[in-house]
Amino acid sequence: MLEIKPIIHSLVRSKAGAVLLILQIAITLAIVSNSLSIIKDRLEYLNKDTGYPEKDVFYITTNVFAVDTELLYLIEETEKTLRGMDGVVNASYMSDVPLSGSGSASSFGNKPMDQDEEKGYLSARTGQSNAGSQVFDTLGLVLKEGRLFNETEVLKIDGARELPQKVVVTQDYINEVYPEGNGVGQFIYIGNTPVEIIGVVERAMGAWPSDEAALNYSIFPYVGASTSQKFVVRAASGMRETVMKEVEDILLAQFNERVIMNVQGFDDAKKEYQASDILMLRMLVILIALLVSITALGIFGMTVFNINKRTKQIGTRRALGARKADIVRYFLVENSILCIAGMTLGAIGAIYLGQILFEHYSVPAFSKAYIVYTAVFILSVSILSVLFPANKAANISPSIATRSV
Amino acid sequence: MFFHYIDLSWRSFKRTPLITLLMVVAIAIGIGVTMMSLSVYHMMSMDPMPHKSDKVHPVQLNTRDDGSDWWSKDDLPQQITYQDAVNLYRADIPAIKTPSYRTGYSLHLGDDNIKPFIESVRVTGLPFFQIFDIEFVEGQPWTQQQENNAEMVTVISRALSERLFGKESGLGQQVYYDQHLFRIIGIFDNFDHHIKYYDLTNGDFSKHEHAFIPFSLTEPLKINNWGNTNGWKFQEIRTFEDKLQSEQHWVQFWVQLDNKEQYQDYHGFLNNYLIEQEAKGRFEREEPAFAMRNLTEWLDYNDVVTEDNRVLVAMSFMFLSVCLANILGLLLGKFLKRVPEIGVRRALGASKRDVFAQHIVEVSMLGVFGGILGVGLAQLGLWGVRATYSYYSELATMDLTMFFSAPIIAMTACILAGLFPAYLVCKTNPAICLKTQ
């Protein structure tokens, strides 16, 4: 009933056009399915939960240039000023700001450094920051186990550095060094110096969202005197814009021998850090949209041409008793045959392209499911683009066939 | 004949406007997408100093134990330690060489006229200006004498001078970097290259520094670097002096070697230096490991052209090929429909070559139209990139090379697509075509 045999015969007679369409469909399938796979990977990364109320939190960097300033006192006063602002929920000093793309990281183990060859030695890299006790409330971190540190436990050091004695870490990090779940109250070691893990927070992302260990994070109760000082501030919902606008003037009014810079929301900091990924995502989406429309246009154009070329044949078929539906079906079946051939070729190409990309670039392994999704999509688009010219063909009057040659 | 062919093509376009438009749009979109990713690629992969990029080398030393790995392809750190930087800088060997790193200060004039602001400042040696061809508009770099005496002198860019002093010349003026008072002794022309090739450690396309101060100030001013500091073994660092003596890597080191002999000599020198340092017990290595890439190799080594961009370029060329397949199919239909007409031309004496030329002219015209429209689309796309992503603002632009290559690529692509249909058309036997009429 589907008249497959005559269709194939006629396709074989005009090979070139058919081959081109098949190739076009094949390449489209290969590119679109691979792009979808990359897009999905990027979306997952971009939407990964950071653990912070990003829309309410922002940070500021201040650089003090005054001579002989009591830097520790200034930090305290700045925190107080920030907390006193209208619309501010809480504020805290931090040595390194999460999501900002700049920070520090180290590997700490569950045993002293000199025992690193012993059995049961585990160590993992973690992002780290020093901070005051209000940092947890400011960043909206959720305590899971143990306790948070209070202000009296915070080491305030002006001069040669000292090592902190306590730390609060994330669940992800403690899982790596104390996988049995008995980590709270135990120690991690900075070199050979033990630091007690007093609490675990559910989730907090470090300075680099793209890091594979992005959710390993440690916060030390420590404030070091330095001319470059950073603060994180949490505003009441919807108040952040206003607070961010006023903050520079208010801080300069409190102490003016410093520069206030990088007043930036957490969501914007993250967006800036991920800008190239967002760009890639957009480019791929545009590429897919254009590609599919070009292929659809190609199918449309080819069908129109086929119909023009075969006007007489179609008229003859109609004169011999073919119904309009038969004519439409003829073109649909022809298109489907081309699509299926193209997709078979395209599927092989997609897998091959996926492999090349996987081997040479840091893109995720290609899942074959995307071929199926894309194939279904392309088939529907191609059917849609055949329908219109096919209907036009079906309206060719049988009398055409009987007109003079 | 050429103009006659152009006339014929124009008539042919007018006869089938829809199909022609379709083809032009297809080629335009293909060219647009390709030129867009190619432009960014071109800007990223550009050689910043074509006249001497083979003579300028960053020095990489592996002063770590065997087995300590690093993110780079060959486990060599991109920066060296402060002590190595000082030793190499002082070494008595014919080469133009300099250490360099980034720091930053609050700049102000000590009065209320200008609101204090933060600037990145590069700390480096006098040879830096020679190695990277920095041109001075006014004054000059500090002298070797001034550097040796660790004088508080600075050179700044024209832009910074304008920001601080407006139209007045900044030369000879004084400026505060934090609480330190510096004297401006030179003003250099702004950097005009978008790749920050002399320091790839903090963003390959970050802004250039607008102020430079002598390397010898590091110790007296206890300058902390702004940028990456990487350690490989545990060392307790409490004070600034600890940091200077530590095994942490945070200084970049550049050397310019003008000929092969100098290169060989310096290579041998580094080898001996590492053997010497190992003998002091700083690290344990079987073989000294170091590298002196040239500038272009260095950009490549640091993946200045991002992977994403390479993937995009590859994908856009595949995309272009889809557009071409599309056009090829359409041309095939269009040209074959015209066979009877060709038969008449052939019968009247046109040679196969004439017919072929006629069709090639027609597809070239398609290419030119598509190329022009494509450049427009690419500009639109690049504008979109610049608007949404300021970091790319210097990169997402089309320079003249790219601008003029677009129509050429479009034309070549179209001619490639047109070859087969044109060949088919002129292969047909005129007799048969005439008969069917």
Q: Report how far residue A400's alpha carbon sits from residue A316's, in angstroms, rounded to the nearest whole number.
A: 8
Q: How confident is the model at residue B435 (pLDDT cuts 50, 70, 90)?
A: low
Question: Is B319–A291 a contact, with Cβ atoms under 8 angstroms apart?
Answer: yes
Per-residue pLDDT tens over the stretch B60-82: 999 888 877 777 778 888 899 99
Q: Report how far residue A42's alpha carbon sits from residue A47's, in angstroms, rounded to the nearest whole number.
A: 8
* Cβ neighbours of A227 in B, within 8 Å: 178
Sequence length of chain A is 405
Report whether B229 contacts B250 (CB < 8 A). yes
Across the interface, of A20, A65, A287, the residue whose CB is closest to B179 is A65
* Cβ neighbours of B310 in A, within 8 Å: 361
Q: Which two tokens stand for residue B206?
A: 């970050």
Question: Is A17–B388 a contact, with Cβ atoms under 8 angstroms apart?
Answer: no
Report phi then psi at A264, rounded to 5. Answer: -145, 135
**pLDDT attached to residue A1:** 60
- E strands of A266-395, at which residues? none
- The answer, for B388 touching chain A at a CB cutoff of 8 Å, is yes
Across the interface, of A20, A63, A277, the residue whose CB is closest to B328 is A20
Q: Which two tokens stand for residue A48?
A: 């990964």
Q: CA dist A358 to A32, A37, A366, B38, B429, Å?
A: 16, 11, 8, 22, 51
Say whether pLDDT at A228 is over 60. Answer: yes
Question: Is A279–B388 a contact, with Cβ atoms under 8 angstroms apart?
Answer: yes
Q: Which of A200, A52, A32, A232 is nearest to A135 (CA)?
A: A232
Interface mutation target, options B34, B239, B322, chain A, most CBs of A under 10 Å:
B322
**pLDDT attached to residue B436:** 57
Q: In chain B, pLDDT over 90 holds for what percent of residues?
A: 41
Residue A159 CB contacts under 8 Å (≥ 6 apart), including other chains: A225
Q: CA dist B205 to A41, A112, B57, B395, Å?
A: 26, 41, 19, 8
Say whether pLDDT at A355 is over 60. Answer: yes
- Pure H helices in A105-232: 135-139, 171-177
Say whether pLDDT at B328 is over 90. Answer: no
Q: How confident is the model at residue B139 (pLDDT cuts 50, 70, 90)?
A: very high
Question: Is A287–B315 a contact, with Cβ atoms under 8 angstroms apart?
Answer: yes
What residue in A sits closest to B232 (Cα-Cα)? A106
* Cβ neighbours of A161 in B, within 8 Å: 237-239
* Cβ neighbours of B104 in A, within 8 Å: 63
Cα torsion angle, B421, B423, B424, B428, sign: positive
Q: What is the mean pLDDT of residues B128-151?
A: 94
Strand B211-214 to B117-124 pairing: parallel
What residue in B sits closest to A280 (Cα-Cα)? B308
* Cβ neighbours of A162 in B, within 8 Å: 238
Report whether B359 contacts B12 (CB < 8 A). no
Per-residue pLDDT tens over the stretch A82-107: 999 999 999 999 999 999 888 888 88
* Cβ neighbours of A35 in B, within 8 Å: 315
Question: Is A65–B315 a contact, with Cβ atoms under 8 angstroms apart?
Answer: no
Q: What does the DSSP assignment read for B59-128? A: EEE--S-TT---SSTTS--SSEEHHHHHHHHH--SSSEEEEEEEEEEEEE-SSSSS--EEEEEEEE-THH
- Pure H helices in B188-231: 218-221
* DSSP category for residue B230: B
Give the residue carrying structure tokens 């915070």.
A154
Say whether pLDDT at B325 is over 70. Answer: yes
Q: Report how far residue A54's alpha carbon sits from residue A275's, in angstroms, rounded to the nearest whole number.
A: 16
Q: Report how far residue B409's alpha carbon sits from residue B210's, in angstroms, rounded to the nearest whole number.
A: 40
Report whether A197 contacts A183 (CB < 8 A). yes
Q: What is the mean pLDDT of residues B363-374?
A: 91
Q: Which two tokens stand for residue B292?
A: 């002196």
Q: How confident is the model at residue A300 (pLDDT cuts 50, 70, 90)?
A: confident
Residue A253: HSE in the Cβ half-sphere, 13 Å Cα cutoff: 8
Say whether pLDDT at B24 is over 70. Answer: yes
Angle of CA points B135, B137, B139, to nearest 5°: 100
What residues are paired with A223 via a beta bridge?
Answer: A156
The gap between the terminal CA atoms of chain A, to the nearest Å, is: 31
A166 three-state secondary structure: strand
The rounded mean pLDDT for chain B is 88
**pLDDT attached to residue A226:** 86
Residue A61 CB contacts under 8 Å (≥ 6 apart), including other chains: A97, A228, A229, A230, A260, A261, A262
Say whether pLDDT at A405 is over 50. Answer: no
Report whether A251 contacts B367 (CB < 8 A). no
Per-residue pLDDT tens over the stretch A244-273: 999 999 999 999 889 998 899 999 999 888
Q: Which of A384-398, B93-107, B309-323, B331-345 has the highest mean pLDDT?
A: B93-107
When comparing pLDDT for B375 and A295, which is higher?
B375
The rounded mean pLDDT for chain A is 89
Q: Which two tokens stand for residue A223?
A: 């404030």
Say whether pLDDT at A281 is over 70. Answer: yes
Q: Provide the residue type at B45 as one letter.
A: S
Give the residue carrying structure tokens 């210097």.
B394
Per-residue pLDDT tens over the stretch A9-67: 888 877 777 888 888 899 889 989 999 998 998 899 999 999 999 999 999 999 998 88
When comparing pLDDT for A2 and A301, which is higher?
A301
Across the interface, of A20, A259, A357, the residue whose CB is closest to B311 is A357
Question: What count of CB pairs under 8 Å joins A to B?
Answer: 144
* Cβ neighbours of B318 in A, within 8 Å: 27, 30-31
B358 three-state secondary structure: helix
- The answer, for B328 touching chain A at a CB cutoff of 8 Å, is yes
**pLDDT attached to residue B398:** 84
Q: How confident is the model at residue A372 (pLDDT cuts 50, 70, 90)?
A: very high
**pLDDT attached to residue B400:** 86
Q: Burial level of A181, CB count in 10 A (0-12/13-18/19+)?
A: exposed
Instruction: Tell me the whole-structure pTM to 2 decimals.
Output: 0.81
Say whether pLDDT at A149 is over 90. Answer: yes
**pLDDT attached to residue B433:** 66
% helix, strand, coil for chain B, step of 5: 50, 15, 35
Q: Report how far residue B193's alpha carbon sits from residue B133's, in angstroms, rounded to the nearest whole number.
A: 12
